[in-house]
Structure 1
């Protein structure tokens, strides 16, 4: 599962990293991106939408997938299981035709400790030796996303869900699920709306290896969505007291 993440890279970095052609809207860096908020998403522009050779667009979408047929009261879905996303009626059309990449520098996960207490961890990309980057310098990653357009005539943004997979053996002690990170060599295929055969999409998902992530314990302050500051991703020792929260 992925219920909180960080994206502190600015739009200029995202444009360069994802080779984006068009930028729509803007987005402030976040150290505590939460469901129902606007998130930055990279999608492929369909040829009918633009003139010229533009291919990729950086846009805002609402984190919480709502299928086009949903009735009032439907609870938005923030995650979709990659193993069944091409089969579930809620997600399968989006998985075939409306795939995206969701940029992040890392994400948070909570480990349930003996007695029921939950300890948050920050997970990000490690190097070849399994070491993590210093806080605030974690490399960008691309999570597999799917999205749904709003109802015709609505001024609401498109809605988005992040795909998850079984956690790697090294990270399963924290949680049994993790995001599905798409490697760069598969970005073009993942974003391509013409690649819409269900079996082909399923095969592509199955071929993605788990990302080599590293984890560090962070402050429980991340549990409050109102907290959003760089110190949230710093290493935290519960025996050394609480994190100082900016006013």
Structure 2
């Protein structure tokens, strides 16, 4: 049956294993040094009621956990393998891979941080934020309204069928030394439909620009596709770009038709 742990704080347990698929409710700030379903166990459901952390793996491919619910500030230091409904609220951070054979819903005003590859059946991201801490693969269908994606300088390779409505905000960094910036690459056979987005807000931070090292190839494309038809763009007039640039000798032009940003030296 369902089990509730009543006392939060730091707890050291080598491994928790599910004996059935009932709900394990964890108290506020339950910080586990150990793993869940590392060497065995059934797909128990996990409810982090108000923050906490797990140092070890949460489920494996052979012994996945079930539903996961988070609130508060919740940190997973190792890989997570689940099969069920994941509802992520507050600020949830995954330092390793996240795999869920099921739907993922990001709660309103939530922040989810991913550092390694993500795989799920579907993501629903309404009025929520996803931060990508490294270049990684995102393998899931996705829908969202009022979504914010923070890319930094990282490339997210996207596999799935995605669509957004309402405002979509992309926060990226354009690194002049690397001549590249945070971007999304849509893999062949996948689609990302932005045709229902009334405002595509691109917020670009320009950094590491040397006015003596700017050439015609100092540019990058924010969203691109490996195959024709992979990107269904919003009309050009819906693209709004903000560039935060601390070098007054470097200027930028933006091609809304290709979502490409070019750097140029002011004379």
Query: Above 0.5 in TM-score?
Result: no
Would you tell me which structure has more helix in proportion to its own residues?
A: 1
TM-score range, shorter chain: under 0.3
Q: TM-score, normalised by structure 1?
A: 0.23
Higher relative contact order (CA 8 A, sep 6+): 1
Q: TM-score, normalised by structure 2?
A: 0.22
Would you tell me which structure has more strand in proportion to its own residues?
A: 2
